[in-house]
Structure 1
Amino acid sequence: MNLLVLTVLQIIIAVMITEWSAALFDALEQHNMAGLQTQIRDLLLIFAASMLVTVLHLKIKRDLQISWRAWLTAHVIGRWMHKGHHYQIAQILTVGHDNPDGRIAEDIRVATDEAVNLSFTLFYCLLLLCSFTQILWTLSGSVILNLGYIQIPIYGHLVWLALLYAALASILGWWAGRPLTLTTNAMQTVEANFRFGLVKARENAKIISANKREAHEKKRFLGLFQDINGIYDLQTRAWEHIILFSSGYAVLSMALPILIAAPRYILGSITLGALMQSVQAFQQMAAALSWPVNNMPVIAQWHASVDRVLGLVDALHDLEQQSLVTDPASDAE
């Protein structure tokens, strides 16, 4: 609950910043020194409030993340180290489940940490969208679409443009980022297999030395790393597509709202402060709508880790069911 309240406070501060920006640019346009001094004072208050809320939000969020991770880790370890499941899972299950140590140590961390991050950034963006849609609608006023014999008034045109812009960006971003989702999942698998191979070699070091199998193990390690190298190249190409899209999107997001709102300022329909507030509201609204695009790599990593944790949990569940079938009396005790 505290985290939700702090997230709402972050939205309030974001709205206050846009209002402060509008007042600042209006004071500059009017050459108003008293207004400028007032905005400097207000900025100090916003600055202090923003720092306090951000720090508290971070602390409470991290407490939630580590608490959830601790609970889930204890739960999975308890099932893994029960009735020989830690041994059976390596002997019975397929290669896809042969590294529970990596899933417990790394995938549970990613699954819990990123679940909290994604949930609250999504909540933040939804609040941001509601707040700045209303602001942008008010600032947009109405424009007349002249079709010759017919003149059509368009209300909230900046809102509709922001929706269209974000929708197109989301479609293009999904198309550009889909290969990254696939390669991220594959990369986590091959990395885990490589790490597990090294752990097994350490555990069997005496046997490897006695049988003089160092050359064989070296070849196996290099083969596992070659799998990483192949996926790494595919992931690099996927990242190139994301970077090309993101860099162009960032430049366009900065320039587009100014170019759209500037004619109304030049015609004298709005003040400089209203222009800058419109630009910021457009950017905030577009940023909120672009949550899926901006978080696509994180979602891909989180989804892959969740799948791996669920795979381990399902495998342990199967072992528990087998134990009930083979030894029902022990469970009854």
Structure 2
Amino acid sequence: MSLFPTTGSNGRRLVLFWQLSRRFWFGGRWSVIGLGVLLLGVVLLQLLVQVSLNLWNRNFFDALERRDGYAMWAQAELFFPLAAASVVLAATSVWGRMTTQRTWREAMTRDILESWAAKRHDGAIADGIDGAENPEYRIAEDVRVATDAPVDLSLAFISSGLTATTFFGVLWTVGGSIEFQLFGHHHEIHGYLVLGVVLYSTLMTSLMLLLGRRMPGVIETKNQAEAEFRAAAEILRGDHAETPGMALAAKATLLQRLGKVLATWRELCWQLASTTLVSQANFLFAPIAAYILCVPKYASGAMTLGEVTQSAAAFVTVQGAINWLVDNYQRLADWRSSAHRVSSLLLAIDNMEDGRDEAPSEADASVPDPAAPRDVDQAARHS
């Protein structure tokens, strides 16, 4: 009897993906625990270096504004160890992430193959289960995406949260409050740079969600069309198209599915073009927005040049951290699609019949065992 229903919502199928994944993450393996500790430690050290570089930015430009050559050279000497630490940590992060992804992919692939090997293979797989066709592609490609993306996205999310929290303090402290007259009344906004970065990030995130709202569905449809196209291409190989009529039918099916692939790619192209408008505009306008917010206080003498550059750098850093969704929207959509398709494969395998050890047939029993002793044959010849 099947453990899971043959149909289910996407949320239910993602739960199945999680149930398989937690065997790897919570199985008590010291190598996995060590990799997790290493990655979190690198994130914290990278944040420390980032804060140090932000403070260095302020001190360097303050020295530049004062035309203090000695202080500028001192800051220049400090920059090199900070830069070296940043480079080493970045390389360590890449090694740790890719090692974790490779290990997780191996564990998940082994679990799926063991489940599949325990089933009978004389029937079709994924009968009636959408998204589980062409299981070889599911195991080779979708498992890779489903295990690569969560590691990168989780670390980016943790880093973004810590970075936003830390640099909120920098913006609040360095930016302070701004005072202005409006309609004859005096106004003061405390932590106005924090308010500015929150409003700016909210605007960009809202635009990304609005323009890219159909992205997950489009990516999933595209992946499904690609899998169906590969399955149709298999028909043209070997003995699957023995007669001209079968070959023509296979070719017609292949061309039909190619048309579907190209249609989904065209739809994905429009979605990516729309989201690129937001991401590229954000890349260009974020630092400009920060400088515009700092100009009034710099012009009044309430901010030094170093504080302006420090605040602008912190503004861009916080904005990038808050806009984690904007930066990773397509990656999230890719992961959701692949995780859903891996879960569909799990459902399909679960609904296959269990393998059985069948007794040997009469035909098999009539075949002599080559390992049997030959003494009886020899005795018969001598008699």
Q: TM-score, normalised by structure 1?
A: 0.91
The Cα shift of 1:197 comes to 1.9
Between structure 1 and structure 2, the one with the greater Rg is 2
1:297 to 330, 333, 352: 330
**CA deviation digits over 1:211-260, x for unaligned, max 9?**
65322222111111100011111111111211222222222112110011
Equivalent-residue separation in structure 2 for 1:26 and 1:91 (angstroms): 66
Decide whether the 8 Å contact of 1:89 with 1:316 is kept in 2: no
Equivalent-residue separation in structure 2 for 1:172 and 1:260 (angstroms): 22
1:311 to 327, 330, 344: 344
The Cα shift of 1:153 comes to 2.8
Query: SS of the residue aligned with 1:88?
Result: coil
Partner of 1:258: 291
Decide whether the 8 Å contact of 1:89 with 1:98 is kept in 2: no
The one-letter amino acid paired with 1:185 is E
Runs of 4+ more than 6 Å apart = none
Decide whether the 8 Å contact of 1:20 with 1:39 is kept in 2: yes
Partner of 2:115: 79
Query: SS of the residue aligned with 1:96?
Result: coil
**CA deviation digits over 1:52-77, x for unaligned, max 9?**
11111111111110000000000001
Partner of 1:65: 101
Partner of 2:14: none
The Cα shift of 1:88 comes to 3.1
Equivalent-residue separation in structure 1 for 2:178 and 2:303 (angstroms): 13
Partner of 1:7: 43
Query: SS of the residue aligned with 1:315?
Result: helix
Query: SS of the residue aligned with 2:154?
Result: helix
Decide whether the 8 Å contact of 1:28 with 1:36 is kept in 2: yes
Equivalent-residue separation in structure 1 for 2:324 and 2:62 (angstroms): 31
Partner of 1:97: 132
The answer as to 2:311 corresponding to 1:278 is yes
Gap change, CA 1:191 and 1:182, over 3 Å in 2 = same
The Cα shift of 1:262 comes to 1.2
Equivalent-residue separation in structure 2 for 1:142 and 1:91 (angstroms): 62
The Cα shift of 1:122 comes to 0.4
The one-letter amino acid paired with 1:23 is N
Partner of 1:110: 145
1:29 to 65, 87, 92: 65
Query: SS of the residue aligned with 2:125?
Result: helix
| Percent identity between the two aligned chains | 27
Equivalent-residue separation in structure 1 for 2:62 and 2:247 (angstroms): 75
Gap change, CA 1:299 and 1:95, over 3 Å in 2 = closer
Partner of 2:265: 232
Query: SS of the residue aligned with 1:29?
Result: helix
Equivalent-residue separation in structure 1 for 2:284 and 2:128 (angstroms): 50
Decide whether the 8 Å contact of 1:89 with 1:315 is kept in 2: no
**5+ unaligned residues in a row in structure 2: which ranges?**
1-36, 357-383
1:130 to 129, 154, 165: 165
**5+ unaligned residues in a row in structure 1: which ranges?**
328-333
Decide whether the 8 Å contact of 2:235 with 2:241 is kept in 1: no
The residue correspondences of 1:178-193 to structure 2 (distance < 5 A) are 178-193=213-228
The count of corresponding residues between Structure 1 and Structure 2 is: 320
Gap change, CA 1:94 and 1:201, over 3 Å in 2 = farther
Gap change, CA 1:94 and 1:200, over 3 Å in 2 = farther
The Cα shift of 1:147 comes to 4.6
What is the alpha-carbon root mean square deviation over aligned residues? 1.8
